[in-house]
Structure 1
Amino acid sequence: MLQLQDSAARRFTRGPRTFRRTVLVLGELLVTAGFIVFLFVLWQLWGTNMAADARQREMVREFSRNLADPAAAVAAPAVVDGRPTVAAEPATGTTLGVVYIPRFGADYARPLVQGTSPAILDALGIGHYEGTAMPGAVGNVAVAGHRQTHGAVLDNIDELVPGDRIYIQTRDGYYVYSFRNSEVVLPARTDVLLPVPAQPDAAATERYLTMTSCNPRFGSQERVIAYSVLERWQPASAGPPPAEIAGQVQRAAGED
């Protein structure tokens, strides 16, 4: 009888110990999973930015070196009746030029690359929507970029104020767009990419620039759209870059 009681007692005490071990193992697994999630978030918000920043800085320097190479440079023609030169749309992945936005900081310089696939936006900079207008053309130059990750190329898009200038440098020269206004739309609103944004039946007479990015900053439920219009252009043959971005261009090229 005593042996039966001892056996029952051991089974009774073994049950709580097993339960405690199970709880401890589950707790450790949850802590490990939480740490992995933390590392993933850290990589998304910090690691991807560092990797993309380094690659994009090198792309800008390479673009600038090619412009300085007489064998590679393409001289822009003189201005004819005020109309800007418009290049042909290149192959996907081609670096079209460099975007400078003084509002985003004195060192802001990002590559403009043909295409908007994840492979381009996640690593190479600002993407140009294929099939939309090229810089300087009548119609809509539509581009896209990330906010909080992968270089955060359009992180401060919501800080633009009317009159802010966006400079696009290509082999042909500098296209200077003046910011007008912005709006927040749902992702399905692809009409913002039309030749006249959001007006499917209108014929374009102006030269627009439309920048698109995710909204809010840490989400993608919406899209923030920033509209600008071409103010002027400066051919490459005209000499130094526009005075407002001369320092930015020099630093981006690694000349400082």
Structure 2
Amino acid sequence: MSAANAVRTGLRGLGQTLITFGVIVLLFCFYELQITNIVAARSQDRLGDQLARSWAASRPTVPAAATGPAAAPAPSAPLPGDALARIYAPSLAGYEPRVVVEGVSVADLKEGGPGHIPGTAVPGAIGNVVLSGHRTTYGAPFNRWDELGPGAEVVVETRDSWFTYTVTGSQIVLPTAVEVTLPVPGKPGATPTERLLTMTTCNPEYSAAQRLIVSATLTATDRKSDGLPAALQAGA
């Protein structure tokens, strides 16, 4: 084989290798951006059913012969992956409410919604409720969170209540900046007096180099028996 033929053969083989590699990359991107979203949507349907059953099972009941006030069963602590609440972002046109799960493991965040960091406050409580969600893939529940400016409202639905949080600001931090998840963000050991919500996601899109932190404070609490909160009535 001449030197020229050897070069052509080598280039042909290199070209075929690059084409194969490109196809693999495209298939991986398709899986990450499309298939994971389909899987996450199915998980959200399942979690929505789980949430409805859980809330219905823990409603106060009164036996036929009873005359005293109804009492709700004592709620059990949520397990990792359990449906915990539902989150709404009414200022983001077209945003579909997501079921929040307990936990932020890789498996938990594949469920299509944000995860609640165990040990942080529960919705409505004094302290810092911390939720983490994907910016891309697996339903991308926090994909548009960079659009939530000061004054935007985020609503968290629990069994009996609507908690409306108003965004106070956002910041970009390194993944190591765990102080944003403290009961009083940035103040280790401080005693919380406010009812806060901190939402974290990767930044920029398609990268985990940084974290986008959106901070909010509780501005309204409504009983579900009274209907939708004001923040959700405009789109009702």
Does 1:74 pair with 2:62?
Answer: no
The amino acid that maps onto 1:19 is V
Secondary structure of the equivalent of 1:118?
Answer: coil
Query: Offset at 1:247?
Result: 8.1
Question: Which residue matches 2:176?
Answer: 188
Q: Tell me the residue number matched to 2:140.
A: 152
Unaligned stretches of 5+ in structure 1? 1-12, 77-86, 251-256
Between 1:101-110 and 1:21-30, the stretch displaced more is 101-110
State whether structure 2 residue 159 is matched by structure 1 residue 171: yes
Equivalent pair of 1:240/1:246 in contact (CA under 8 Å): no
Equivalences for residues 49-128 of structure 1 within 5 A: 49-64=37-52, 67=55, 69=56, 72-75=57-60, 89-128=77-116
Aligned to 1:221: 209
CA contact (8 A) 2:84 2:102 kept: yes
Letter in 2 for 1:27: G
Counterpart for residue 232 of structure 2: 245
RCO higher in structure (CA 8 A, sep ≥6): 1
Which of 149, 160, 175 in structure 2 is aligned with 1:161? 149
Question: Hey, what does 2:219 align to over in structure 1?
Answer: 231
Alignment partner of 1:132 is 2:132: no
TM normalised by structure 2 equals 0.85
Counterparts of 1:58 and 1:101, CA distance in 2: 21
Match of 1:10 in 2: none
Letter in 1 for 2:153: R
Contact 2:153 2:167 in 1 (8 A): yes
More helix by share: 1
Q: Percent of counterpart pairs with the same letter?
A: 36
Distance in 1 (CA, whole Å) between partners of 2:24 and 2:231 is: 45
Are 2:130 and 1:142 aligned?
yes
Question: What whole-Å deviation, never above 9, does each CA across 1:189-219 have from its counterpart, x for those lacking one?
Answer: 0010100111114210001000000011121
Q: 1:114 to 1:66 in 2, by over 3 A?
A: closer
CA distance in 2, matches of 1:59, 1:105: 23
Q: Over aligned residue pairs, what C-alpha RMSD do you find?
A: 2.3
Aligned residues: 223
Q: What amino acid is aligned across from residue 220 of structure 1 in structure 2? A: A
Shift of 1:38: 1.5
Cα distance in 1, alignment partners of residues 190 and 77 from structure 2 = 23
Q: Deviations over 1:208-247 (max 9, x none)?
A: 00000001112111101011111121223x2322254258
In the alignment, residue 18 of structure 2 is paired with which amino acid?
A: L
Larger radius of gyration: 1
With structure 1 as the length reference, what TM-score do the two structures score?
0.79
Which runs of 5 or more structure 2 residues have no equivalent in the other structure? 62-74
| Deviation by residue 1:133-168 (Cα, 9 ceiling, x = unmatched) | 111111000010001211110011111122211111
1:36 matched to 2:21? The reply is no
